[in-house]
Structure 1
Amino acid sequence: MKSRTSILFILFLLFVGPLFAQQDTLLVSAQKVVEEPAYEPYDPLSPARAAFYSAVLPGLGQAYNGKYWKIPVVYTALGIGVYFYIDNDQQYDRYRDAYKSRLAGKTTDEFSDANGEPIVSTNGLIEAQRFYQRNKEISVLVTLGLYALNIIDANVDAHLQQFNVSEDLSVKPAVDFDQYSGKTGYGLSLNYQF
Structure 2
Amino acid sequence: MNVQRTLTLSCILVVPLLGMGADSVQAKDPRIATYAALIPGGGQVYNGRLIKALAVVTLEGLALGSWLENSDLYDSYDPDDDTRFPLRKHRYLEKRNKYAWWVGFIYVYGMIDALVDAHLSPFTEVMGSSMGSKQKNGEENE
TM-score, with structure 2 as normaliser: 0.65
Aligned residue for 1:47?
30
The answer to whether the 8 A contact 1:81-1:140 is kept is yes
Shift of 1:152: 0.8
The correspondence for 1:76, drawn from 45, 52, 58, is: 58
CA distance in 1, matches of 2:55, 2:67: 19
Aligned residue for 1:191?
141
Q: Which has the higher helix share?
A: 2
Shift of 1:111: 4.2
The correspondence for 1:151, drawn from 99, 102, 111, is: 111
Task: Structure 2 unaligned segments of length 5 or more: list them.
Answer: 1-20
Mark the structure with the bigger radius of gyration.
1
TM-score, with structure 1 as normaliser: 0.49
Q: Give the counterpart letter for 2:95 in structure 1.
A: N
Deviations 1:73-112 (A, max 9, x none): 11101011011112212321342xx25xxxxxxxxx4249
Give matches, 1:25-104, under 5 Å. Answer: 39-40=24-25, 46-55=29-38, 57-95=39-77, 98=78
Shift of 1:144: 0.5
CA distance in 2, matches of 1:169, 1:143: 44
- Structure 1 pair 41–73 and aligned structure 2 pair: CA distance change class (3 A): closer
Q: Which has the higher strand share?
A: 1
The answer to whether the 8 A contact 2:33-2:43 is kept is yes
The correspondence for 1:130, drawn from 85, 90, 110, is: 90
Shift of 1:138: 0.8
Shift of 1:59: 1.6
Aligned residue for 1:116?
none
CA distance in 2, matches of 1:160, 1:169: 21
The answer to whether the 8 A contact 2:44-2:50 is kept is yes
Partner of 1:69, secondary structure, is: helix
State the percentage of identical aligned residues. 28
- Between the two structures, name the one with larger relative contact order (CA 8 Å, sep ≥ 6): 2
RMSD of Structure 2 on Structure 1 (CA) = 3.0
- Structure 1 pair 41–93 and aligned structure 2 pair: CA distance change class (3 A): closer
Task: Structure 1 unaligned segments of length 5 or more: list them.
Answer: 1-35, 100-108, 113-119, 171-189
CA distance in 2, matches of 1:41, 1:69: 21
The answer to whether the 8 A contact 1:92-1:128 is kept is no
Shift of 1:40: 2.3
